[in-house]
Structure 1
Amino acid sequence: MSYCSVIDMLTPEARKALHKNYHDNYYGFPIQDDNELFARLVLEINQAGLSWETILKKETSFRCAYANFDIATVAAFTDDDRQRLMQDSGIIRNRLKINAAIENAKTIVQLQQEHGSFKNWLTKNHPKTKEEWVKLFKKTFRFTGGEIVNEFLMSTGFLPGAHSTDCPIYLKVLAQNPLWNS
């Protein structure tokens, strides 16, 4: 039995644990590593039209399919890689989303050359309103509509809102986010 078919059969308790782990340890926390920022962008793009649970269940398959989200490697993907991804049942097989991942990796390589890192580019553009971020992302990246941009920025700590102030995780996120503590 494949990993994906096992993950699809999660018990309600395991599904709850999957969400809790993401909520308590990843959602809203700042990410320093460019490859992990790229990973979150790709996952958010692939979530469009689907549930976040679907993406969480497929995250390991995405990591395998996209070379652990190594930006330089994905930027060098060929047409053969695009075809391989279209055949990979462990990920979302949507040509537009696959093309967006590869083209966005190429864009991030350029941003790294110009700004030192993807993280630096994001930080240099902070703070912006959600609307300003959406406009910038639409101009810079592919397949980045308002909801994708909002979730990417909230999930990586560039926009507030991942946790309400009464959520026990809120203070943990706040303590780790220098963008909110200035």
Structure 2
Amino acid sequence: MSSYCDYAPGNPIHAHYHDREYGFPVDDEAVLFERMILEINQAGLSWELMLKKREGFRAAYDGFDVDRVAAYGERERTRLLNDAGIIRNRLKVNAAIVNAQRIVELRRDYGSFKGWIDAHHPLDKAAWVKLFRKTFKFTGGEIVGEFLMSTGYLPGAHRESCPIYQEIARLSPPWMSEGWQKSAKKTKK
């Protein structure tokens, strides 16, 4: 079975994302929010399209500034639905705005989006999906799994034989933590 590690290296569209972002731990809230928006918008489409439209998304969603997106009203929603630089899907646009509002709410108890994720780590994929569905909009199993894999919370972004795997391992992503390893072993029993 082919993996991202087979075709992304050297690819003009996928190489940078594969080599410098995919699976690397993320601390920055705007980057976490960007990944969430891109994963939501990728549903039913290709990741290549998301990478091609990435700059359009960045411009349309004010650099993925959570506070600005959370404050969007009808005028901004209409602007987004008319923006050819992004995916113009009402459900996905609404999810971005509602999810930004939820992140703002989560900050009260967890300090940040990352703080919320870290507070629930480690969980297996099924538990993560349940938690995300309860908390956010448009977050099914594939979206949650890819989001968490792409940000270092779940394994699987790279094969062990991929040179990038070793780079990520040196950064000690959350899924390589002792707590996650114990949780994974418990789930397998």
Is the pair's TM-score, using the shorter chain for normalization, greater than 0.5?
yes
Partner residue of 1:6? none
1:68-95 CA distances to partner (integer Å, 9 max, x unpaired)? Answer: 0000000000101000000000000000
1:1-182 → structure 2 map (5 Å cutoff): 16-179=11-174, 180-182=176-178
Deviation at 1:181, TM superposition (A): 4.1
**Secondary structure at the residue paired with 1:100?**
helix
**Secondary structure at the residue paired with 1:103?**
helix
2:29 and 2:112 in contact (8 A); partners too:
yes
Give % identity.
Answer: 57
Which letter does structure 2 place at the counterpart of 1:96? L
Deviation at 1:35, TM superposition (A): 1.2
**Secondary structure at the residue paired with 2:163?**
coil
CA RMSD after TM alignment:
1.1
Which letter does structure 2 place at the counterpart of 1:18? I
1:1-59 CA distances to partner (integer Å, 9 max, x unpaired)? Answer: xxxxxxxxxxxxxx922201110000000110111101100000000000000000000
Partner residue of 1:4? none
Q: Specify every segment of 5 or more residues in structure 1 that has no aligned partner in the other structure, as ranges.
A: 1-14
Q: Specify every segment of 5 or more residues in structure 2 that has no aligned partner in the other structure, as ranges.
A: 1-9, 179-189
Partners of 1:177 and 1:63 in 2: how far apart? 28
Partners of 2:177 and 2:18 in 1: how far apart? 21
**Secondary structure at the residue paired with 1:143?**
coil
2:153 and 2:173 in contact (8 A); partners too:
no
Which letter does structure 1 place at the counterpart of 2:123? K
Deviation at 1:177, TM superposition (A): 2.7
1:111-147 CA distances to partner (integer Å, 9 max, x unpaired)? Answer: 1121011101101111100000000000000000000
